[in-house]
Structure 1
Amino acid sequence: MLQNIPCTLVTGFLGSGKTTLINQLIATKPTGERWALLINEFGRIGIDGALLTSSQDSHTTDIAIREVSGGCICCTSQLPLQIALSRLLSDHHPKRLLIEPTGLAHPRELVQQLSAPHWQTALKMQAVITVLSALQWQQEKYRTHEGFQAHVRDADVLVINRYTQLSADEKQALQAWVAKLNAQISIIWAESDSQTTTGEINTSTGYSAALSAQLSKPSFVISKQQRVNIAEPYRAVVGLKPLSHSLTANTFHNPESNDDNKPDTSIELPYRYHEQQQDILLAGWRLPAEYVFNADKLQDWLLKLPNWQRIKGVVHTSHGWLQINFTPDSLSTKTVSAQADSRLEIILQASTGQEDATAVKVDWEGYDLELMALML
């Protein structure tokens, strides 16, 4: 039975830069030390894991990756998280574990699950790190969004990126907004925003050291929840009300989420899915590696999609294999090593979000034809 494996939970709203920060943490891994990474992607097509395994440097060669796709792991049944974590730990015996939930997950649910008694001996929970994009924060629709705020409330450390455009007054206002939500949180300002626009990892000494230090700091948020868990049975016996109540499940929660990806051989390519979860439209493609797309036309086509919120993929193009990572305030592409297949996933807002909101009309069959027309 494995015990006291250091575990770090990295949260953040959709498009905040969690994957970049995960890469920065992995860059601090001692050579030869095996780490494990549990990735939760809301869509059905796992992309982040493929991007990490494409790297051939000494830091990523000893990373065991497990992906939970097709929904969020903040599930009230807890089974997807329990099964994925148990298999990852028992199969690979890592020295450290990192967990990256989907940006649509509710961190309170995950904190409650990871504070459960059956994890308290197996995992040694370190500081919960949340990533916040200052460019998102500047927009009122994010600042007032309960899901956006929730990531700040349930974290020990807040890493703020994309803030170079903020004035001194705006930075002060941002700090005040954070303090109102979580007075005990520590703030780390990313020293350079280059990694969010070019895809490169920020390796500045001060920033790297500050991040690395969080891997060995205990989590106040987790320990507080653990004390609640210990107190609950006694309070129930003496007839007192619970100290805390589970928040309403994530609006975007998919109760049919799978605990593991299907093997590549179980999916016949080309493959495409689309679905709607509340006001979010999801679609993804997995395509044979021999399909080569015009890189420039592909990016133009993606950027013209209606009301898109996130575009992520690794695609075989005329410029080689390209990693695509688009958010409304950050467009990033970079070349990666060859993959077994091309993968592309998009998230669209189902309505315009305005007072006279109208539903976004999506012709998925038409999009299939348009995408295929971009092949060389």
Structure 2
Amino acid sequence: MPANAVSKTRVHLFSGFLGVGKTTALKSLMAQKDPAEKWVIIVNEFGEIGIDGAVLSDNGIPVAEIAGGCLCCVAGPQMAGTVAKMLRDNQPHRLMIEASGLAHAASVIDELKAKPLGDSLEVGAVFTVVDPRQFVNDDYAAQLLYKDQVGVADVLVASKTDLCDEATLHAFRQRAAKLFPPKALVAEVANAQLDIAWLETPVVSKSRYRIKALPDLDIGFQSQGFTFDAGLNFDGERLTHFFNELPQMCQGLVRAKGVFQVLGTWVWLNWVDGQWGANQVSWRRDSRFELIAQSFDADQIEARLQAALE
């Protein structure tokens, strides 16, 4: 291995619905790249003809194409082989993957983290590009694929803002601020022009944190958040007991919500109005829990969450 080779390649996934500007976003980063840093690019096209790959292959950065719409389904085995070959042939510092607009981003992240790829890759900030006009549309928000792409993002990029009126942008900001888990960065750009510094967006959270934005509540409420490493699994039965007993551990419980890894899958638990429900989600970074109540013992809550780990 050459002296300048890196032990692990940092991989960034670029996700987003059809036509939002992912290729343009990637080109904007390529134009800012440090010449000393070696990149490779993998483009996942929906059709059989590689248009995006052709657009990106004009500046000396190696580009590979995978046809078939969904990296994690039709093209899954092909992705693993393509990634392995790109790493072996180029020994890059960064791997940029532009996913098809129909790709399930969370499943792609799972495959990048799993062996054997996970031995060579470090998953860096995940980017999802959205059109604010779609983002604020309830029909889009209800689609599982769209929710998956938004949910897995560390950096949420609102593109085409020059085509949006102020009411749409205001609605976008309000919805983006309420996303759970919260995004490391929410950016608004015109024509999908990204800042290369965003590649270094941190994706590791503190183990205990204060919720940045409280809902409109009377003075006197506490808020607290907790995170747990993505390598840790929670026991489903113990989590159920925790949520059932949570109202007795808190005075004036208003809201509690969390994303937890259980048996290798990721579930969202949400307590509101005296009851809670569960759904699968696309988040892959860490398990995390937030609550708002009049008063509670944060150390006790943390201890009970630790006890729910496998």
The TM-score normalised by the length of structure 2 is 0.62
Matches within 5 A, 1:303-314: none
Aligned to 1:231: 232
Aligned to 2:250: none
Aligned to 1:290: none
Distance in 2, Cα, partners of 1:26 & 1:226: 34
Matches within 5 A, 1:157-172: 157-172=155-170
Aligned to 1:24: 28
Work out which structure has the larger RCO, using CA pairs closer than 8 Å and 6 or more positions apart in sequence.
1
Q: Is the 8 A contact 2:124 2:199 kept in 1?
A: yes
Aligned to 1:180: 178
Tell me the percent identity: 30
SS across alignment from 1:15: coil
Aligned to 1:7: 11
Specify which of 215, 227, 237 is matched with residue 199 of structure 2.
Answer: 215
> Size of the alignment, in residue pairs?
222
Q: Is the 8 A contact 1:3 1:121 kept in 2?
A: no
Aligned to 2:64: 66
1:138-187, Cα deviation, whole Å (9 max, x unpaired):
54432332222221111111111112344444323212222333341121
Deviation at 1:107? 1.1
Is 1:244–2:245 an aligned residue pair? Answer: no
Specify which of 77, 84, 101 is matched with residue 86 of structure 1.
Answer: 84
Closer/same/farther in 2, CA of residues 173 and 241 from structure 1, 3 Å limit:
closer
Structure 2: gaps of 5 or more residues: 206-226, 237-260, 268-278, 281-310
Deviation at 1:116? 1.9
Deviation at 1:218? 4.0
Closer/same/farther in 2, CA of residues 220 and 75 from structure 1, 3 Å limit:
farther
Aligned to 1:318: none
Deviation at 1:99? 0.7
The TM-score normalised by the length of structure 1 is 0.52
Aligned to 1:132: 130
Q: Is the 8 A contact 1:127 1:220 kept in 2?
A: no
Aligned AA (1:16): V
Distance in 2, Cα, partners of 1:50 & 1:39: 10
Distance in 2, Cα, partners of 1:117 & 1:227: 18
1:196-245, Cα deviation, whole Å (9 max, x unpaired):
6xxxxx4xxxxx5xx21222234349xxx9944x335x969xxx961525
Aligned to 1:50: 54
Q: Is the 8 A contact 2:155 2:187 kept in 1?
A: yes
Matches within 5 A, 1:283-362: none
Aligned AA (1:216): E
Distance in 1, Cα, partners of 2:68 & 2:118: 27
Q: Is the 8 A contact 1:4 1:124 kept in 2?
A: yes
Q: Is the 8 A contact 1:125 1:218 kept in 2?
A: no
Distance in 2, Cα, partners of 1:95 & 1:226: 28
Distance in 1, Cα, partners of 2:228 & 2:121: 13
Aligned to 2:139: 141
